[in-house]
Amino acid sequence: MKTIPIPYHTGTVPLHLEEEQLAAVITARTHGFDPQMGETDIIEHALRNPIGSRPLHELAAGKRDIVLVTSDHTRAVPSRLTLPVLLREIRRGSPDARITILIATGLHRPTTVQEQRRMFGDDIVDRENIVVNDAFCPGDFVDMGRLPSGASFCVHRLAVQCDLLVAEGFIEPHFFAGFSGGRKSILPGICSAETVNENHSFHAIASPFAQSGVLNQNPVHEDMLEAARRVNLKFIFNVALSGDKQVIAAFAGHFEKAHAAGVEFVRSLAQCPRTEGDIVVTSNGGYPLDQNLYQSVKAVSTAAMCCREGGVIIMCCGCADGMGGDNFEKLMTMGTPREIEQYLSGIPPKESIPEQWNVQVYVRALKKHTVILVSDNLPPEKVKAANMVPAQTPDEALAMARGLVGDQARVVVIPDGVAVVIA
């Protein structure tokens, strides 16, 4: 009997299965990667050696209004380590600069002050000027025309009006933008709901290039790149993280060149060969990405690439924050997967509904696979209404899955489905 820990909320839950039934454990090499340097040294080294750009302190020299975009409470950016260093470098070049930390929420709920204290530390929250993006407040945004797809481009006015725009984030595989980080701090990070909705339209997400690990010809990525160019995103600082959310690499400099270097590093560790299973067990890598069902689609989309048609995906997700947004819950529970997909396919890009994209990818998986959700925070009736099967533990879910596909089922385990790119 083999025991495999599956990330769940801030800990793990055990999965027990016989060795002969285990087809593969697919794990990104970011897990257990030894960078040969401490986190602080990695961060400082990247800032001293920017890619395709002058150092941040030189860019800041003579600038008065500087905006530093950071991520929200749903992301694992180690801002307690990175923000103080970025602020130091900005003030090294411009001691009297007016700095605004702009939290990129996309369409997520606002980041609370309590969450800011956890993310940034009390000193930054008490001393710095922090603004939380609100995509649903039209007066906060400036219309900057159209993006390559034809989507409107409305971005936070602070990003347009500042003398220097800087962003921090982290790079990992993303289920329809290819990879996170870089340009995503701008779109969807600090854009209006209208712009995000169009960028994430059914048509865009349906592209065969809008998937994990793919940037070339990806229409979602291409609009994001143009958005970052249009607002003159001057400098980024992105990190790569291990499975336990430790910094293993950092990339600073020009937003395209530094991000490209980071993507290649992450790809080299994240890309794994496909092994097909009758049952695939996965998770979102635990907190913070498993706070709700909405985010869980990231690992489900990875698992679907390894699950045979008619097979079972077991998704372990804490869901401490419930289902996610109201639109996500409404759409996920409005009918069968095929009915939901048909409804979404009829929505024009300019009328896209917030959160429909995660539903679109979810029902794509649900059409071909049974999804069993392991969560002790969602009522079973809500899980069933969303076309999934509820379970309390991975072992209970595995027993259910075997009842559906047979006792001799081959099991593939992807402990952190977000961290992996299936080749």
* Each residue's pLDDT tens digit, 16-40: 999 999 999 999 999 889 999 999 9
Q: Is the pLDDT of residue 325 over 90?
A: no
Query: What's 343's domain CATH number?
Result: 3.90.226.30
Same domain, 184 and 70: yes
Domain-located, residue 31: no
Specify whether 108 is catalytic: yes
Rounded to an integer, the average pLDDT of 381-390 is 98
pTM equals 0.92
pLDDT digits (tens, 9 = 90+) for 184-239: 999 999 999 999 999 999 999 999 999 999 999 999 999 999 999 999 999 999 99
Domain-located, residue 73: yes
Q: How many domains does the chain have?
A: 2
Same domain, 217 and 302: no
Q: pLDDT band at residue 183, thresholds of 50, 70 and 90?
A: very high
383-421: burial string, b at 16+ Cβ within 10 Å, e else: beebbbbbbebbeebbebbbeebeeebbbbbbbbbbbbb
Specify whether 9 is catalytic: no
Same domain, 93 and 196: yes
Same domain, 214 and 177: yes
Rounded to an integer, the average pLDDT of 30-58 is 97
Domain-located, residue 157: yes
Domain-located, residue 235: yes
Domain hosting residue 47, numbered range:
39-269
Q: Which of 243, 269, 295 is the last residue of a domain?
A: 269
Please list, in sequence order, all residues whose beta carbon lies within 8 angstroms of the beta carbon of residue 240, skipping any fewer than 6 positions away.
30, 170, 171, 172, 247, 248, 249, 250, 251, 262, 265, 266, 269
Domain-located, residue 354: yes
Q: What is the pLDDT of residue 244?
A: 84
Same domain, 80 and 212: yes
pLDDT digits (tens, 9 = 90+) for 63-96: 999 999 999 998 989 999 999 999 999 999 999 9
pLDDT digits (tens, 9 = 90+) for 298-308: 999 999 999 99
Among 9, 73, 156, 174, the active-site one is 174
Rounded to an integer, the average pLDDT of 275-287 is 97
Q: Is the pLDDT of residue 104 over 90?
A: yes
Q: At which residue do the structure tokens 């709700």 appear?
A: 292
Q: What is the pLDDT of residue 187?
A: 99
Among 9, 108, 156, 259, the active-site one is 108
Q: What is the pLDDT of residue 355?
A: 93
- CB of 204 closer than 8 Å to CB of 137: no
